Amino acid sequence: MSSSKQSVLVFFTSQVWTNNQVLIAILGICSALAVTNRLSVAITMGISVSFVTAFSSFFVSLLRKYTPDNVRMITQLAIISVFVIVIDQFLRAFFFDISKVLSVFVGLIITNCIVMGRTEGMAKNVAPIPAFLDGLGAGTGYAIVLIIIGFFRELFGFGQLFGYQVIPLEWYASAENPEGYENFVLMVSPPAAFFLIGGLIYVFRKLQKTA
Amino acid sequence: MWMGDFNHFNLLGLVLQSVFIENFLLVNFLGMCTYLACSTKLKTANGLGIAVVFVLTVSGVLNWLLHRFVTGPGALSWLSFIGVDAERIDLGFLEFLLFISVIAGFTQILEIIIEWASPALYMSLGLYLPLIAVNCAILGACLFAVTRDYPFIPNLIYVLGSALGWWLAIALIAAIREKLAISNIVPGLRGMGITFIMSGLMSMAFMGFTGIKLANPAPPQVATWGEEPAAENEEPILDSRDPSLPTISFLSLSH
């Protein structure tokens, strides 16, 4: 029992670490770049994607024996967009500010390659529970990367975390103290995300080689 | 419905804006996955670029019609001519599902038509068509156009320009990657790592255009060849983009 339980959990852990979808498979990059300049937004996006990946993997796997092969892409897209609609309506109802910032990127979860990659690559071949864990793991791995990038971008770009000032205001350059600290504006702008992901890939490869 | 408050000058601005200032790949980060997978060869990149231009233009127009007549606010009011009062029905929540179905369905149909009409073209282009169905640039452009409420012609120009911009970006980057493939790079960065850093540099180059506003529907002071002056108090639909979007903030942050 315990061994089978463990083998099911492998679906989860391998997705979080060894096969991290963003850093190893290089999928789901669009949103990893576009919504990470605030930590709170990055976390919301990570949770949304985990939810969508997990549940659409589950249902794709549930229906895998009844889906004709030549319409499976459309079926998968339909299942995925149902969950994206759920998430979108939920965010609009309870987290309106964040959903304003995310704007079209919630809708773009539909075309997030991670979701499609997991349903197509895993869920259509395995039972619902492993598929669910696999999807959840892929989403979690994605969320972790988003949080790391969001952390650096918000800390250095705004001097804040979750919207609270972390770097003391006295350190900042002012009229009396022209030599003081200044926010690193590049961090807020799009290219910084590229550099950070490039760097993360480097670090991740180094870590995995030693591990 | 056709032009809204846009004049010809604005349309030109809209082209420049969607190709350069808001380049889909390098400024909005859409269509990244396809780009990373298919930009190692310039030839592949061009094939993909052409396919994206075609699919995005057509599905952008189709989705605009869908939004205007089915899912938008008050869009179903045309049903009144058959005696159904559907003015208040809001199908907005179905938008994602319908949009992605239109895109996926259209690429499927296109694939069949190309295969039947020109096997040679199918061999070179057909491979990319399934990839395009899940290219976020397509869905992204459709959603942006709907969010910004473009009239018909500006919408057409916008989706066309976005697609051309995407093609331009992927072609530029593919050319660089062909050179990168034969360079001596730190082992850990080889492949994707260096590609990201290079894309970041390209993206910085495109950031140089940020803040230039060419497509506001209000008439520019100097231009006199516009059809008629648009209303003064029009809300600037294109403050180069929605200020709440995270990726813009470069200029707005530098105080």
A18 in contact with B, Cβ within 8 Å:
no
- Give mean pLDDT, residues A87-100: 87
Neighboring chain B residues of A108 at a CB cutoff of 8 Å: 30, 136, 139-140, 143
Neighboring chain B residues of A202 at a CB cutoff of 8 Å: 186, 188-189, 193
pLDDT at B168: 92
What would the pLDDT profile of A134-188 be if each residue is shown by its tens digit? 888 888 888 988 888 888 888 888 877 877 777 777 777 777 777 777 777 778 7
Q: B194 and A88: CB-CB below 8 Å? A: no
Q: Residue A38 region, left (φ>0) first, then alpha (ψ -120 to 50), else beta?
A: beta
B10 to A74, B21, B214: CA distances (angstroms):
38, 14, 7
Best B36, B55, B100, B139 member to test A by mutation, with max A CBs in 10 Å, is: B100
Contacts of B98 (CB under 8 A, 6+ apart): B63, B66, B70, B71
Best A77, A102, A104 member to test B by mutation, with max B CBs in 10 Å, is: A104
Through-space distance between the first and last CA atoms of chain B, rounded to whole angstroms: 38
**pTM summary value:** 0.78
B214 in contact with A, Cβ within 8 Å:
no
The alpha carbon of residue A126 is apart from the nearest alpha carbon of chain B, in Å, by 23
pLDDT band at B164 (very low <50, low <70, confident <90, very high): very high
List helix spans (H) across A17-161: 29-34, 39-62, 72-94, 96-102, 104-107, 113-118, 128-158
Cβ under 8 Å to A: B residues 118-157: 130, 133-136, 138-140, 143-144, 147
Cβ under 8 Å to B: A residues 120-159: 157
Best B21, B24, B25, B33 member to test A by mutation, with max A CBs in 10 Å, is: B33
Q: B244 and A116: CB-CB below 8 Å? A: no
| A207, two tokens | 């870590």
pLDDT at residue A210 greater than cutoff 80: no
- Give mean pLDDT, residues A61-65: 86
- Give mean pLDDT, residues B232-245: 45
- Give mean pLDDT, residues A7-13: 76
Domain ranges of chain A: 2-210
pLDDT at residue B255 greater than cutoff 50: no
Nearest to A194 among B97, B108, B197 (CB): B197
| φ, ψ of residue A124 in degrees (nearest 5) | -80, 0
Tokens 């990893």 belong to A32
B185 in contact with A, Cβ within 8 Å:
no
A130 to A112, A118, A143: CA distances (angstroms):
21, 12, 20
pLDDT at B165: 92
Round the average pLDDT of chain B to a whole number and report it.
76
What would the pLDDT profile of B200-235 be if each residue is shown by its tens digit? 888 888 888 777 776 666 544 444 444 444 444 444
pLDDT at residue B240 greater than cutoff 60: no
The gap from C-alpha A28 to its chain's centroid, in whole angstroms, comes to: 7
A 10 A CB-CB count for A29 gives 27
pLDDT at residue B26 greater than cutoff 80: yes
Q: With contact defined as beta carbons under 8 Å apart, do A35 and B30 qualify? A: no
